[in-house]
Amino acid sequence: MKTLVDTIISNKEPNARIHFIRGAEEEFALSYETLKQRALGLRAFLHGQGVTQGDEIILLSQRNEAFIEGFWAAILGGNPAIPLAFGISDEHKWKLFRIWQQLQSPWLLLDATQKERLEKFVALNGLNGLWQSVQKKSIVIEEIPPLIVADDFIAVEETDTAIIQFSSGTTSSPKGIVLSHKNILTNIRGIIKGMAMTEADSTFSWMPLTHDMGLIGFHLTPFVQGVDQYLMPTDLFIRRPWLWFQKISQVRSTVTCSPNFGYQHYLSALERNQSQDALALNHVRLIFNGAEPIAVPLVQQFLKKMQIYGLNDTAMFTVYGLAEASLAVAFPEPGKRFRYVTLDRERLQMNTQVQYTENGVSFAVEGKPIAGCFVRIVGPDQSNLSANHIGKIEIKGENVTKGYLKQEELNREVFHEDWLDTGDLGFLTTDGELVVTGRWKDIIFVNGQNYYPHDLEQILQSKGVTGTGRVAVTSVRGEGEERDKILVFILYKGRLPDFVPIINAVKGVVSEQLGIEVQEVLPINQLPKTTSGKIQRYQLSSRYQQGDFNQVIQELLELSAMDDEGQQGVSTIEKTLKGICDGLLANKRIDLDENIFEIGTTSLVLAQIHQQIEEIYPGKVEVTDFFDYPTIRQLASYINGKK
């Protein structure tokens, strides 16, 4: 099989199925053969609307069934598929238009609800001219008539583009990772071999299909192998995390996956007394752990908690990959216990030999390069480093992208002959296994997603929170912590009490625009820069970890403290909502009239708050209502008015 088209045409397991999980008791199954027929019909319809071979198709659907049919229609039509995550914030909508303007001849396949949201956004932002051109080449999924199957197949070459995976950049131009059919199939073959996948396996995933682990790892890989796959919507997992292993136990899937935040979210659900007594997980063979840096203490906590349900510690499969590699780079050996190394934190610099110790920083062992992919560790001068020396991780192979879309300067920067600079730091053990220790590039990992400091800085500048060139965003992760801590430094020389409103504004804007939490906003007299004017974020991170800002943090905490005691006239609904928020917003104090976004509420916590409100006041509040009623008092009044 040279292309994905060959894969679906020659599928040897026509009765294998995709099971779409819709709830605890609701499921829809589609055989691979039926999927092929539906995709062929949709491809014929799209071409009848004017889509021609080579035109790009942006997929904007929150429904897994519609997304997959649209994806395969694009593949069968010789059209590069562009998966696009579509959040509720304005920045996600801006991203669509920025991507559109990069493409040669794009089309948009979207849900009716997404179209309605876009139309409101366009009207508010004066984008009617651009929207008219987009609308002419948009196809609303709900408006597609009954499909008529056409059995003719379009010739596709293995070097043709199959997928363009765009980065999560928002304010700046998102970068498109161009993946050919050969890139993807090479990686899938390596994945199947590396995980020892057989016809006895079945997969289960709640990862979004717009993410490479969700699409390539847990849709295309089982499809190529011809085994059953189970797909649960991400928002269903967020609202009902216990369904993840409840369904796996019921259907006896052998392979599943999650980044760090998914394990934490599931464990938090169990702590809220959501019983899983009936679980039986002894059949689970592999749980892929990737998509963001792996937190060793969290893995240990998860395995300890789940062993009572029969989960073996050999199931934890700590892997390394990136979209530029199609997906996978390195896997551990299947069936081996979870392993990690503990290193001296003083010997984690570039070009330094690591020192193994009993007391230090722990990192997961992520295994050897999979078949078809090669890894090397190099120093700043591109010289090869020997085992146990930290350097830049570079990769090459037929699975690796040939470059970013229309980014010639970036391509020259990241490619060294055939080797791609991943932006990550790490080392190879004497046994040739990869350990990732940090990042060469300034990428921030939150809830399985990558965020770039300059994006956050531009958002704050565009919203008028800070002036141009007066803000630096970076991140740190301490020992035992499970996610990056986002730090915002602002050039400021005024009175400290006057800085408190700036803190609230920064946290509110980032939370509302991107749904992520800023942990610290700190004033600084000078931003460290290189001679060429680039901000040296690592210096700020280092100073923070050394405790240079501890005193100002304490002073700001005291200035920001709010006393909720003695409030009069608090209604029952207000008390209920405050109890929910106080329980989920750890280490924070929220006043009845305080904007929930200004205290750094993440999209994950927002979903948890909504879930608990839904249990008490069913059908009264949508997640989007938080944007219209962002304080407890306003939301309580809104709920009261709907009785």
Give me the domains of the chain, ranges plus CATH numbers: 4-174 (3.40.50.12780), 249-441 (3.40.50.12780), 444-546 (3.30.300.30), 572-641 (1.10.1200.10)
Backbone angles phi, psi at 343, to 5 degrees: -125, 155
Say what the pLDDT of residue 418 is.
Answer: 93
pLDDT of residue 531: 41
Q: What is the pLDDT of residues 289-348, one digit of tens each?
A: 987 778 888 899 999 999 999 999 999 999 999 999 999 999 999 999 999 999 987 788
Mean pLDDT for all residues in the chain: 88
* Average pLDDT score over residue span 506-530: 84
What is residue 608's predicted lDDT score, i.e. its pLDDT?
81
- The yes-or-no verdict on residue 438 having pLDDT over 90 is no
What is the per-residue pLDDT for 569? 58
**Burial group, residue 331, by CB count within 10 angstroms (0-12, 13-18, 19+):** buried
- Has residue 533 got a pLDDT over 70? no
* Beta-sheet pairing, 255-258 with 316-318: unpaired
Percent of the chain past pLDDT 90, that is, above it, reads: 54
d(CA 29, CA 20): 6
Work out the average pLDDT over 415-433: 94
Residue range 225-231: mean pLDDT, rounded:
97
Split at pLDDT 50, 70, 90, the class of 566 is: very low
For Cα atoms 253, 255, 257, give the angle at the middle one, nearest 5 degrees.
120
DSSP secondary-structure letter at 235? H
Q: Measured in whole angstroms, how far is the alpha carbon of residue 236 from the centre of its chain?
A: 16
> Is residue 565 very low, low, confident or very high in pLDDT (cuts 50, 70, 90)?
very low
201 HSE (CA, 13 A, CB side): 20
Confidence of residue 589 (pLDDT cuts 50, 70, 90): low
Q: What is the predicted pLDDT for the residue at 414?
A: 94
> Can you give the pLDDT at residue 215?
97
Q: Evaluate if residue 567 carries a pLDDT over 50.
A: no
* Integer Cα distance of 109 and 97 in angstroms: 14
Sequence-separated (6 or more) residues with CB below 8 Å from residue 531:
none
pLDDT of 158: 96
The conformation of residue 146, written as its DSSP 8-state character, comes to: P
pLDDT score of 443 more than 80: no
Opening angle at CA 51, ends 5 and 101, nearest 5: 105
Q: What is the pLDDT of residues 394-415, one digit of tens each?
A: 999 999 999 999 999 999 999 9
Burial of residue 395 (CB within 10 Å: 0-12, 13-18, 19+) is: buried
Q: Return the pLDDT at 170.
A: 45
Model confidence pLDDT, tens digit, residues 350-394: 889 999 998 888 899 999 999 999 999 999 999 999 999 999 999
For the stretch 45-102, pLDDT in tens is: 999 999 999 999 999 998 999 999 999 999 999 999 999 987 666 777 888 999 999 9
End-to-end Cα distance, the chain: 59
Classify burial at 166, counting beta carbons within 10 Å of its beta carbon; exposed 0-12, middle 13-18, buried 19 or more.
buried
pLDDT at 555 over 50: yes
**What's residue 626's pLDDT?**
84
Whether the CB-CB separation of 584 and 611 falls below 8 Å is answered with: no
Q: Is the dihedral of CA 137, 141, 142, 148 positive or negative?
A: positive
pLDDT digits (tens, 9 = 90+) for 178-223: 999 999 999 999 999 999 999 999 999 999 999 999 999 999 999 9
Q: With 50 as the cut, is the pLDDT of residue 42 above it?
A: yes
pLDDT above 70 as % of the chain: 92
Residue 225 has pLDDT above 90, yes or no: yes
pLDDT at 513: 79
Is the pLDDT at 560 greater than 90? The verdict is no
Locate 133 and state its tokens. Answer: 């051109």
Measured between alpha carbons, how far is residue 247 from residues 68, 135, 370 in Å?
A: 21, 40, 30
Poorest-pLDDT segment among 130-139, 190-199, 530-539: 530-539
CB 364 within 8 A of CB 299: yes
pLDDT higher than threshold 90 for residue 625: no
pLDDT at 168 > cutoff 70: no
Whether the predicted pLDDT of 562 surpasses 60: no
Top pLDDT among 522 and 493 is at: 522
